[in-house]
Structure 1
Amino acid sequence: MNQSLAKALESYPRIPLTRLPTPLQALPSLSAKLGPRLYIKRDDLTDLTFGGDKPRKLEYEVARALAQSTDTLVTCGSSQSNHARLTTAAARKVGMDCVVILSRDQYQQLQGNLLTVYLMGAHVHLVETFNHWDLEPHVQNVCQSLRAQGRKPYVIPVSGTTPHSCLGYIRCGLEVVRQMEEQELRVDAIYTPFGTGGIFTALLLSLREQGITCPLIGISVNQQRASCYEKLETWWKALCSLLHCDPGCSRGEFEIHDEFIGREYGDPTEECLDALLLMGQTEGILLDPVYSGKMMAGFLAHQAAGRWSAEQQILLLHSGGAPVLFAYADELGRHLKKRGVDIHS
């Protein structure tokens, strides 16, 4: 473990919300099919209410909320937001209330993540908005109402990405390197989804500070490349400030790809659904059609183009999100039929 990073992390309060470390596993069946030796970091197996990447981030944000004696977590997202599910779970775990402001869209059926949010007793506001990234005015209105009632809200932004929450993936980077050392594993590239950019940036900094130089490859799920680079700069500067790292230190080789988004965020592209089927039918691991499925589609496109050979080793980050599969049942059913699966209804 990089002692300077670990020591710097000790300066910031954190409340444990989930079981760590998550496994780093080989994918033997998928490797045999594709050629390169493939591994997966199972952040879908954090154990807070169906898991995913958010608990690592929430450990720092919830600690800050408790330190400020707040009583209600307030956040926002799409109708099937993983973040809303896990923020609600985190609030309940520490005895706080939770309000979630969600955008109305074609996936607002009472199932998947939205069902879990109701089951855990969050106060849900479904609002009309062009984009769930534009919910901030609604969040502020809700907070104003809560304060008028004598409540003390604490706002966690869409996707939960803040400079402090990114510390969770600095810790994850320490965890990954330790597991690689234990398994005597040297990887030639690491693939991650790229949403708000917090995970990607924190992993990039953590890996480079530990001397890991392989390419980090981000597959954007919602933003064009130029916007992704802006997010990277924002979180890089903030994290370097928090951790007393030189912001001018080498970032090494990294890539951000925006050609796998599809029409919009959450669009279940054919390549994404094929990737989801491939992982499920070779390894019995379910990806999601929003984040990890897009990441896998990006890797498979690179593999099909001949980028990776049988002698190379690739690590994939599974960021979770399986509950959303149920909200995509119609699209998944049509795709299964398209691929020759006889579905009995």
Structure 2
Amino acid sequence: MNRSLEEDLERYPRISLTRLPTPLQALPSLSAKLGPRLFIKRDDLTDLTFGGDKPRKLEYEVARALAQGADTLVTCGSSQSNHARLTTAAARKVGMDCVVILSRDQYQQLQGNLLTVYLMGAQVHLVETSSHWDLKPHVQNVYQSLLAQGRKPYVIPVSGTTPQSSLGYVRCGLEIARQMREQDLQVDAIYTPFGTGGIFTALLLSLREQGITCPLIGISVNQKRASCYEQLETWWKALCSLLDRDPGGPRGVFEIHDEFIGREYGDPTEDCLDAIMLMGRTEGILLDPVYSGKMMTGFLAHQAAGRWSAEHTILLLHSGGGPALFAYAEELGMHLKKRGVDILS
């Protein structure tokens, strides 16, 4: 007899780092403005240091680190990395040290996520690199240095995505399914950001097993569709292996869109800034320019093209990232002025 996902998840160690479940809320004002009935999954409201999606992943990675006797978490990302903020917070919560290796870029002012990392006492290395996705050699150098000092480091990769950490979003899929049942909610599509692909893949697996068959739509924030599909295959096989599922099982309808990235990862496109303003001015919810703002950009483009009408119900995943807004103050200020806002100075 096949075990349930809940039973299979219990086989893997996990440490509680944040308050769950996060709310699944209606968006009445935005719905009235756009037409479709809209809901949002508030993973920006995890309560670990300004929240976001990473605590769900880190609950598994930190448990593994503690089981191995590690005393220091080591990770990497962009200068305004949400993952660096939340890995540092997780380390402090369980009494560990943290080292973060961050790429130098145009957003390295001492504010937003970078400020929080310093406030929580992480050891910060800012390095020159073409992309924060290429920091692995720098991480390895720091890892070896810590070993030489007699420390016990544990490395968590960029964005925190591993097969084990993705189990956090298998759990989230179960949580969404339970909340939909409680609210008697049926949706026509679910939108998520697509970064490294762990969240998207884990939700796809979990939601399908719970009988939720609507399209899962990923909006890429950093890479072309072909690379996204490659990552989906990697995480799908790994998760199926961990959870004893057939990798050839049905996945249902899903989509990945890469046309909303802009020039590069973290590019605050005009449409993205408009999406942030719209959500803020209708619902008082702030999206970020890197992940949730791009997800919203994709949904709004599909809505404007006539894909969704008043007969449809859509669920949006807010993955957090709010502190990064402050590093984009200049771009946001210019955009507000462009939209006719009189900013006092």
Residue 216 of structure 1 aligns with which residue? 216
Aligned counterparts of 2:122 and 2:249: Cα–Cα separation in 1: 43
Residue 64 of structure 1 aligns with which residue? 64
Aligned counterparts of 1:297 and 1:263: Cα–Cα separation in 2: 15
Aligned counterparts of 2:212 and 2:128: Cα–Cα separation in 1: 45
Residues 1:188 and 2:195 aligned together = no
Deviations 1:128-171 (A, max 9, x none): 00000000000000011000000000000000000000000000
Residue 33 of structure 1 aligns with which residue? 33
Aligned counterparts of 2:93 and 2:342: Cα–Cα separation in 1: 42
Aligned counterparts of 1:139 and 1:295: Cα–Cα separation in 2: 30
Instruction: Provide the secondary structure at the position in 2 that maps to 1:271.
Output: helix
CA shift for structure 1 position 3: 6.4
CA shift for structure 1 position 86: 0.0
List aligned pairs for 1:106-255, cutoff 5 A.
106-255=106-255
Aligned counterparts of 1:36 and 1:275: Cα–Cα separation in 2: 16
Q: Give the residue type in structure 2 aligned to 1:302.
A: H
Deviations 1:62-106 (A, max 9, x none): 000000000000000000000000000000000000000000000
Residue 297 of structure 1 aligns with which residue? 297
List aligned pairs for 1:34-113, cutoff 5 A.
34-113=34-113
CA shift for structure 1 position 311: 1.0
Aligned counterparts of 1:178 and 1:75: Cα–Cα separation in 2: 33
Residue 336 of structure 2 aligns with which residue? 336
Instruction: Provide the secondary structure at the position in 2 that maps to 1:76.
Output: strand
Aligned counterparts of 1:3 and 1:235: Cα–Cα separation in 2: 21
4+ runs deviating over 4 angstroms: none
Instruction: Provide the secondary structure at the position in 2 that maps to 1:126.
Output: strand
Aligned counterparts of 1:311 and 1:209: Cα–Cα separation in 2: 26
Instruction: Provide the secondary structure at the position in 2 that maps to 1:278.
Output: helix
Unaligned runs of 5+ in 1: none
Aligned counterparts of 1:131 and 1:321: Cα–Cα separation in 2: 19
Deviations 1:272-328 (A, max 9, x none): 000000000000000000000000000000000000010110000000000000000
List aligned pairs for 1:313-332, cutoff 5 A.
313-332=313-332
Q: Give the residue type in structure 1 aligned to 2:287.
A: L
Aligned counterparts of 1:309 and 1:121: Cα–Cα separation in 2: 49
Aligned counterparts of 1:47 and 1:343: Cα–Cα separation in 2: 31
Residues 1:11 and 2:28 aligned together = no
The percentage of aligned residue pairs carrying the same residue is: 88
TM-score, normalised via structure 2 length: 0.99
Instruction: Provide the secondary structure at the position in 2 that maps to 1:314.
Output: strand
CA shift for structure 1 position 60: 0.1
Aligned counterparts of 2:136 and 2:307: Cα–Cα separation in 1: 41
Q: Give the residue type in structure 2 aligned to 1:12.
A: Y
Q: Give the residue type in structure 1 aligned to 2:242.
A: L
Aligned counterparts of 1:40 and 1:324: Cα–Cα separation in 2: 20
Q: Give the residue type in structure 2 aligned to 1:66.
A: L
TM-score, normalised via structure 1 length: 0.99
Instruction: Provide the secondary structure at the position in 2 that maps to 1:25.
Output: strand
Q: Give the residue type in structure 2 aligned to 1:91.
A: A
Instruction: Provide the secondary structure at the position in 2 that maps to 1:101.
Output: strand
Aligned counterparts of 2:51 and 2:309: Cα–Cα separation in 1: 32
Aligned counterparts of 2:38 and 2:245: Cα–Cα separation in 1: 31
Aligned counterparts of 1:244 and 1:143: Cα–Cα separation in 2: 33
Q: Give the residue type in structure 2 aligned to 1:339.
A: R
Aligned counterparts of 1:22 and 1:70: Cα–Cα separation in 2: 29
Residue 281 of structure 1 aligns with which residue? 281
